[in-house]
Amino acid sequence: MEFLLFPKKTYYLTQGYGPISYSHQGRYALDVSAAGGGSRAVYAPFTGYVAQVYVNPLDAYTIWLVSDEKVLCADNKPHYVVMQIGHPSEIADFKVGDKFKQGQFLMNDGKTGQATGEHIDLEIAVYDRKEDIRVGFYQNSYGVYGLINAVAPTKYLVLANDTKVLNDVYDGITYAIKTESEVINLEYNTGVYRTLDNIRVRTGPGINYPQKRVECLTKDGQKNATSTNPLAPAFYKTGTLFDALEIYIMNDEVWARTYSGYVNIIYKNEVNCEKI
């Protein structure tokens, strides 16, 4: 499972949201730019598709991105996500249905519309069911257009561990975004988990430890193995529920000790098990 990643390698905030904002009244929008030595490049925050494109020479260009699957957010839960990006410089070639992978370069900051400088206007909405997803503008009571069902982005966005925070303060208010490591540390503790893929069962917490054989698992573990051959390498099959008796967090890896052995919960950006 992917994180909902902030779509730039640098975070320089130029406008927040709420009543103190200049042009975001009634909206949960962040303006971010390449100021302070940052980068203009905007990357895909998740693997997904283009749901809508708005290109009008008299107005801010806008694009709506939707995740293919649920992604892990800073609230420590997986959600489907819609991300609306306004003011980018070059989206005319995007078509509805275009696919992209997380981390893929998409566009640069721009100043389409009435923007005073190059930046992007960022809004997100989260959904628990794919059939509920909506994209597009709505006009609020301030007469300002924003994303349908938008939520506070700082509660859901996640910064990659190597993202540089150049400025996260607007008008005296800090708009901090949790890092991958912070989300991991909050989310992963002992309890019951479900595997999201076929997961190797190892003799210790790390990929350097050998994989167990099926015959070395508990009886319950053998019932949930991908193979009935006792000499086969041991995997918990997708959807297996297991008790995490201890949690080991090592940089960008999280491991759990189960009754049958050790399994990987997260490795770098890949989430392999979810807590239930």
Between 159 and 190, the more confident residue is 159
Long-range contacts of 204-207 (CB under 8 A, 24+ apart): 204/262, 205/248, 205/250, 205/255, 205/256, 205/257, 205/262, 206/250, 206/253, 206/255, 207/264, 207/267
Dihedral sign, CA of 94, 35, 158, 124? negative
Lowest mean pLDDT among 17-26, 38-47, 197-206, 209-218: 17-26
Q: Report whether pLDDT(23) > 70.
A: yes
The per-residue pLDDT for 19 is 64
CB neighbour burial string for 220-233, b if at least 16 within 10 angstroms, e if fewer: ebbebbbeeeeeee
Q: Report whether pLDDT(211) > 90.
A: yes
The model's pLDDT over 52-99, given as tens digits with 9 standing for 90+, comes to 999 988 888 999 999 999 998 998 888 999 999 999 988 989 999 999
Complete domains list, the chain, with CATH: 10-179 (2.70.70.10), 188-275 (2.30.30)
Q: Report whether pLDDT(257) > 90.
A: yes
Dihedral sign, CA of 97, 104, 72, 217? positive
Spatial contact of 11 and 164, defined as CB atoms under 8 Å apart: yes
Average pLDDT estimate for 177-190: 83
The per-residue pLDDT for 17 is 87
Average pLDDT estimate for 172-193: 87
Query: Residue 213's closest CA among 195, 198, 200?
Result: 200
* Residues above pLDDT 70, as percent of the chain: 96
The per-residue pLDDT for 206 is 94
Grouping H, G, I as helix, E, B as strand and the rest as coil, residue 140 is: coil
The rounded mean pLDDT for the chain is 92
The per-residue pLDDT for 60 is 87
Which residues lie closer than 8 Å to 132 by C-beta, 6 or more apart?
none
* Residues above pLDDT 90, as percent of the chain: 71
Q: Residue 268's pLDDT band (boundaries 50, 70, 90)?
A: confident
User: Using only C-alpha atoms, what is the Rg of the chain?
Assistant: 21
The per-residue pLDDT for 89 is 84
